Chains A and B, each alone.
Chain A
Amino acid sequence: MKNLLQSELRKLIYLRANWLLLLWSGLFAALGTVAPIMVLNSENNRMGFSGTNTPEGINAVFSNAAGGYLFALIMGILIMTNEYRHGTAVGTFLVTPKRSTVLLAKLIAASLAGLVNQIFSYIFAVGSGLFALTFFEPHAPVPGELLMKVFRATVISGLVLGIVGVGLGALVKNQVVAVTGAVIWTLIVEGLIVAFVESVGKYLPAGAITGLVNVDFGENEFNFAIENYLSPGPATLVLLGYAAVFSIIAMRTTLRRDLD
Chain B
Amino acid sequence: MSSVTIEFQSLSKQYKDVLAVSNFTAQVHAGRVTGFLGPNGAGKSTALRCLLGLVNPTSGQAFIGGGPYSALHEPIRSVGAVLDSRGFHPGLTAMQNLKVMASASGIDFARIEEVLKIVDLEGATHKRTKGFSLGMKQRLSLAIAMLGDPEILVLDEPANGLDPIGIVWLREFLQKLASEGRTILVSSHQLAEMQNTVNEVLIINKGVLVAQGTIDEIRRGKSLEEAFLDLTLGRSA
Residues of A bordering B, CB below 8 Å: 3-4, 6-7, 10-11, 14-17, 82, 86-88, 90-98, 258-260
Contacts and interface: CB of A to CB of B under 8 A. Distances in A.
Given A87-B84, A259-B49, A3 B89 contact: no
A95 B88 contact: no
B52 interface: yes
Contacts, number: 82
B54 A93 contact: yes
Contacts of A90: 54, 81, 83-84, 87
Given A10-B96, A14-B92, A15-B91, 8 more contacts: A3-B106, A11-B92, A15-B92, A90-B87, A94-B52, A94-B79, A95-B104, A97-B72
A260 B49 contact: yes
Contacts of B72: 97
B153 to A, nearest CB: 12
Contact of A91 (B49, B79, B88): B88
Given A87-B86, A97-B70, A10 B76 contact: no
Category for how many chain B residues contact A: 20 to 34
Contacts of A88: 86-89
Contact of B100 (A10, A96, A259, A260): A10
A95 B101 contact: yes
Contacts of B210: none
Contacts of B118: none
A97 B89 contact: no
Nearest to A18: B91
A11 B89 CA distance: 9
A86 B86 contact: yes
Contacts of B103: 3, 6-7, 10
B105 interface: yes
B169 interface: no
Given A82-B89, A97-B69, A7 B100 contact: yes
Interface string B26-52: 000000000000000000001001001
A92 B54 contact: no
Interface string B100-118: 1101111000000000000
A11 B101 CA distance: 10
Nearest to B84: A87
Contacts of B79: 94
A17 B96 CA distance: 15
A97 B75 contact: yes
A211 B15 CA distance: 47
A82 to B, nearest CB: 7
A91 B46 CA distance: 16
B19 interface: no
Given A6-B103, A91-B101, A86 B96 contact: no
Give the 7 A-B residue pairs with the shortest CB-CB distance, closest first.
Answer: A87-B86, A7-B104, A259-B54, A97-B70, A258-B55, A91-B87, A7-B103
A95 B83 contact: no
Given A97-B72, A259-B55, A87 B104 contact: no
Given A90-B87, A97-B70, A259-B55, A4 B92 contact: no
A15 B97 CA distance: 11
B213 interface: no
B83 A96 contact: no
